[in-house]
Amino acid sequence: MGAEPLKRTWKVQVWRRFIIGFVALYLIVPLYSMFDFSTKPFGLQDKGRNLRAWRIIPSQPDLGIAILRSLITAGIVMLLILFMVVPTVIWVQLKLPKLRRPLELLCLLPLAIPAIVIVVGIAPLYRWISINLTESPITLSGVYSMLVLPYTYRSLSAALDAVDIHTLAEAAQTLGASTFRMISGVIMPTIRTGIINGSFIAIALVLGEFTISNILNFKTFQVVIAQIGRSSGSVAVSVSLASILFVLVLLLLVPAHKRREEVLDVDLA
């Protein structure tokens, strides 16, 4: 009787390790290929592999300001998600359940509209903004916050479905908490995993979006990488790989920090 569950557990462990290994290989091989390409001889004067393409990165024109602008844009998008999208989704879930389906369809709508169609629609608006207000790529935070809605909503919806927010809301209101305090101090910390996931999706979209910014003639991070690639493919690949590794480090640090907080909470309890 005891051998059968043990055998089943062993098979599950083997299958799990196989899946993890396959996914790791699927992700690592392209990254290694990028690094391999970036270290190849840069020109006729180079006779072997070197890191010359990586050393040239800081001297690339417009790259630093493009990264700064993209990070500021990502920060604005995250703030819009935190102060507009999250409270709206929570309020609909709590008080307006009949609007949940229409809200979901509205948030998923950007997936059904091609990027080129979105550009054609918003081009006159951004032309007016460029003439009368500013030509900064930071203004793209508006359209980026719309593009990230489908992924953010699904992340928040999954987090809300895993928590009994109605009980939390009733308990908070019974103890005298205001609506603002209930949402910001009780429910939002409970679904912080969904908020963090949505924030990382926003960062990935802002740092990786090319079509809209390129057609609107904004020098964002990906547009500058494309311009660098016209003169040096190895430097462009180096910059791309560096940005991917930076995002991966962020993804690895946040779960570890969260686990430490959970362990501390358990110890204190």
| 53 found inside a domain | no
List the CATH number of the domain containing 74. Answer: 1.10.3720.10
Pair 203, 243 in one domain = yes
71 and 220 Cβ atoms separated by less than 8 Å: no
Amino acid at 167: T
Say if residue 266's pLDDT is above 50. Answer: no
Q: Give the span between the Cα atoms of 87 and 188, in whole angstroms.
A: 8
Please indicate, yes or no, whether residues 130 and 10 belong to a single structural domain of this protein. no
Q: Are residues 147 and 205 in the same domain?
A: yes
Based on the domain organization, do 76 and 143 belong to the same domain?
yes
User: 24-33, 109-118, 189-198, 260-269: which range is least confident on average?
Assistant: 260-269
Does 107 reside within a domain? yes
Say what the pLDDT of residue 138 is: 86
Domain contains 42: no
Q: How confident is the model at residue 163 (pLDDT cuts 50, 70, 90)?
A: confident
How many beta carbons lie within 10 A of that of residue 97, not counting itself? 10
Cα(259)–Cα(255) distance, integer angstroms: 6
Residue 29 shares a structural domain with residue 69:
no
Q: Give domain status of residue 54, yes or no.
A: no
Give a yes or no: residue 142 inside a domain: yes
Digit-coded pLDDT (tens) for 42-62:
666 666 777 888 888 888 888
Q: What is the mean pLDDT of residues 144-158?
A: 88
Structural domain including 21 reads: 1-37
Q: Is residue 196 part of a domain?
A: yes
Dihedral, CA atoms, 155, 157, 162, 167, nearest 10 degrees? 140
Closest CA to 238 of 33, 26, 27: 33
170 in any annotated domain:
yes
- At residue 234 the predicted structure's pLDDT band, cuts being 50, 70 and 90, is confident
Which whole number is the average pLDDT over 30-34?
88
Measured CA to CA, the distance from residue 91 to residue 42 in angstroms comes to: 56
Report how many domains make up the chain: 2
Residue 127: its pLDDT value, please? 87
